[in-house]
Structure 1
Amino acid sequence: MKILLTGVTGQVGWELQRTLMTLGEVIPVGREQMNLAQPDTIRQTIREIKPNLIVNAAAYTAVDQAELEPDLAMAINGIAPGVMAEEAKHLGAAIVHYSTDYVFDGTKSTGYTENDPANPQNIYGKTKLAAEEAIASVGVDHLILRTSWVYGLRGKNFLLTMQRLAKEREEIRVVDDQIGAPTWSRLIAEVTAQILLPSLQNTADFFARKGGLYHLTSNGKTSWYGFAQEIFTYDLQQNERKLQRLIPITSEEYPSAATRPAYSLLDNIKLSHTFKIVIPDWQKILDLVLASS
């Protein structure tokens, strides 16, 4: 299988370069080769490579900045995946695309399922939903994997920000009224590869039976404050800390350009049952990540 992979410098894309090697030839494509804000370069690159599978891990992920750059965010997050889907359909290929918990408004008090209506409250969420709808409308073989609160040991994410601030500040204030599931970038990549492995035998049959929309997150739930507490409980670098106080605050006390959903927990039962995958709780995974850092 020839796999075109985008977003190779991002958290998930970086991990996918390794995990997808079990499926075939991975061709990583960077911004220099394929600018997602320019549809012509997307079409040209895909037609030159002629992949059997496109895995799109690229995205405009600056949630607050997206409020100031809605057109650019839509070009990268909303329009580009639709173009990829069209080119994949033309080639008889399939596409895997990653979406977000921010397609929901956060008004539920239980985990969102794939059947719940989306109602994004910020530009980022709206652009990601636009991509979901574009891919589905093309009629291409696809998997759309919604995930949440992605973190890892590289790039920009909540874990690394907390570790840095703990060395710089005596006090850190963290929002405690937004609920979700922290999800390790490597878990996303490994589950993706595991899901796709059966497709090597018969790609068309695999996507006909199991293609569609799934939620791919860790199990369990917490707030950003709870996430921070776990980081500092298990962080092996605690001797280097300046931090003395971790203080829970409300969203109103931490104003931001983009509105975040108060409750964006994703129910991942459909994925677990369909692909017979057991996903651990987020605390156990975080402990593993910190122990290996």
Structure 2
Amino acid sequence: MGEYTVQIETNAISRPRGGAARAVALFLEETRPCVQVVFLMRFLAGAALAAGGRSAGLGPWVVVPAASWALAALFAYGINGVSDVAEDRVNRTGRPIARGELSRRAAARLTWLSAAGSVALAVLSRDVLLLGYVLGFLLLGYAYSAGPFTLKRSAAGTSGTVLAMGLLTYAAGWTAAGAARPTGPGLVLAVGMSLWMCVVGAVTKDFSHARGDAAAGRRTSVTAWGDLAARRVGAVGALAVAAGFAAAAGPWPVLLGPAALVLLGGAVAVAVLCAATRPDAAPGRTPYRAFMVTQHLAHGVLFAGLVLL
């Protein structure tokens, strides 16, 4: 295993803060917009497939549940940002809290307001099952980042949490559509893309965070297994998940075929980048970026196909 010995810098310069609107904008940046978008895409994909695989099945009724889920995702990544300030400074992520433009106190307030809003909207939807999913998602988001659980400290805790949060998101979409159980395509998409998060995303995100994770005492895929072993797991895992998804999607070639092709292409890109890049690679050329772009494109082509049905 490679050595990652770093002293966490705890002092940072607090820059002048603006008004509430600026704090909200910085909070949204802190919660990683690209991740927030894909969580909403997962929710809507679950709802659309449960509604019969047609985009027309998505109507005004989905607005309140989707907003509830969006706020839950903001909470999960908001509390992660508040909890990871020291590591983010070591890793030089450039996020607003770490760079001193958004105070932890302001971020924490917006984080808990997001949680309260999520629960309130779930109650407003009058769907008990959706409310249960929202509460479960919020609990997982808290347990991942904060004590006494801090599931992010281990590779197993990270992957398990990511898998559960992915499945809950698709399940919440099914519930919002009024489906008692998922359709075949919905189940394949939910399992396949949640495994993509668990096996590929949870591993490849560690490559550029090893210094901060080691300084915080985390046993992630890189700090526990070593960089080379983690890259092999990421590469093989990406190819295995994509191949499995393509096989499972076989009975629905029109609906899931394009997404399967995107996932296969993305898996090859992830595998190549796992072998070709170093931990200090440019942000746009990392295996994690390929993972992220792939899941956006996979959901995007699914929605495009639904419009044409």
TM range (shorter): 0.3 to 0.5
Give the TM-score normalised by the residue count of structure 1.
0.34
Give the TM-score normalised by the residue count of structure 2.
0.33
Which structure features the higher share of strand residues? 1
Which structure features the higher share of helix residues? 2
